[in-house]
Amino acid sequence: MKQIRIGMLGCGIVGSAVLRMLARNRSDIERRVGAQVEVVRVAVRNPSKERDVPEGIEALYTTDAHAVVRDPLVQIVVEVMGGIEPARSLLVEAMEGGKHVVTANKELLASLGRELFDAAERAGVDLYFEAAVGGGIPLIHPLKESLAGERIRKVMGIVNGTTNFILTRMSEEGISFSAALAEAERLGYTELDPSADIEGFDPAAKAAILASIAFNTRVVAGDVYREGIAAITQQDIAFAARLGYAVKLLAIAESQDGEVAVRVHPAMIPRTHPLASVRDNLNAVFVQGENVGELMFLGRGAGGPPTGTSVVGDVLDIARNILSGGRGVGCTCYTEKTVRPMETMFAQYYILLKVADLPGVLASVAGVFGHNNVSIGSVWQEGVGEEAQLVLITHRAMERDLRATLHDLRELEAVTKVASVMRVEGGEA
């Protein structure tokens, strides 16, 4: 029987899950692919570290990652070490040596994707990365292949499990952001420094990758407008619930007038929207296409075994390509579209104002909105006296106009505080 030989870079929770799957499902994999898939080398920093790997793997450890990418036996390099360097140099070297690559490295792809794809193109090899967005969720292949004949209008996803867990707890248990964060930390859902999640850096990298694929143009992480969830209060979530909305941290990429708009921010979405019921640390990506209408892909966005499933799927896809002499889909960024500045994007907004309980307050507030071309969809007043507040939901408005509105509201005597501003998604088109 033919053999396909794998070299691995890294052997953490994803890498060891990949090794366990390849061993445990060995006979099924042979029959599905028509070849034995053999791991022949594994680059690790510390060979004596305890790892949950199949028997015999220890003998394949090397601390010399270059030896893996130069090994003439290796046909597919699996990179699960993460970070920019040395991953970048190792993968470029591997591809220049004619090796196919599977990587789960969203950070690398979202900043230096073009360089990697150019190297793959020059060498005529496959570069797959299903695991880089949405962990175990099949997403990259469906977007590139199943929707190859479609025009995608919008991609909107919950692509960070930690923040979705926090928002779910705040919503279902009525606890504060900091209490929910502490619970996420206790359960081991957060990184040592939780800011990549909380401040939206992790979902911004994923948004850049999704936007690049959906709109056939290269978007990098730095292009993505980004707001985190630390400012979300229990009151925002309670108001959202009363209005029929859930609060989610969304990564959004959409096509507007031939440009691409990409952003990560918390948003209110209608409770009947499929994304609203994505709970705990699940991920989900919602896609709108001209013909296909609405699609949603849901699953586990992190963790060794789910992410490992996507890595193994890519490895086996490439193994089949090697055996049949075929080639997978390469870079699909064949256009150069402008990334739209946040100021010119359109959205609906929820605004909570603390106001003086005086006659004429609503008129002066409404005047400010009108003056700035922001149309109010609904408004009502809560409480009286010192506690008086106005809740407003706008129609679709331009971000620049909304910012001018907020500026003017803060100048109004009747408005004591602009307490909250949040975008509303999944509603009017």
Of the pair 279, 354, the CB lying nearest a copy of itself is at 279
CA distances from 264 to 37, 82, 342, 396 (A): 39, 22, 11, 18
Of the pair 29, 94, the CB lying nearest a copy of itself is at 29
Site string for a copy of itself, 4-23 (x = CB under 8 A): -------------x---xx-
Give me 372's structure tokens: 């700035």
DSSP 165-178: HHHHHHHHH---HH
Q: Taking CB under 8 A as the rule, does residue 377 contact a copy of itself?
A: no
Do 102 and 108 contact (CB within 8 A), yes or no? no
Least distance (Å) between residue 125 CB and a copy of itself: 13
- H or E element that contains 123: helix 106-123
Least distance (Å) between residue 403 CB and a copy of itself: 34
Q: Taking CB under 8 A as the rule, does residue 142 contact a copy of itself?
A: yes
Catalytic residue numbers, as ranges? 206
Phi and psi angles of residue 238, each rounded to the nearest 5 degrees, phi first: -65, -45
Point out which span in 136-144, 340-348, 361-369, 416-424 binds a copy of itself (CB under 8 A).
Answer: 136-144
CA distances from 413 to 38, 64, 259, 357, 386 (A): 72, 67, 39, 11, 14
Distance CA 186, CA 366 (A): 45
Sequence-ordered alpha helix ranges (H) in 174-200: 177-186, 195-198
Of the pair 124, 360, the CB lying nearest a copy of itself is at 124
Q: Taking CB under 8 A as the rule, does residue 292 contact a copy of itself?
A: yes
Point out which span in 61-69, 315-323, 398-406, 407-415 binds a copy of itself (CB under 8 A).
Answer: 315-323
Q: Taking CB under 8 A as the rule, does residue 130 contact a copy of itself?
A: yes
Do 122 and 145 contact (CB within 8 A), yes or no? no
Restricted to residues 192-221, the positions that interact with a copy of itself (CB under 8 A) are 216
Q: Backbone dihedral region of 49: left (phi > 0), alpha (psi from -120 to 50 degrees) or beta?
A: beta
Point out which span in 100-108, 134-142, 222-230, 233-241 binds a copy of itself (CB under 8 A).
Answer: 134-142
Of the pair 335, 338, the CB lying nearest a copy of itself is at 335
Do 285 and 210 contact (CB within 8 A), yes or no? yes
Which residues sit at the interface with a copy of itself, rule CB under 8 A?
17, 21-22, 24-25, 28-29, 31-33, 130, 136-138, 141-142, 145-151, 216, 272, 274, 276-279, 282, 284, 289-300, 303, 305-306, 308-310, 312-313, 315-317, 320-321, 324-327, 329, 332, 334
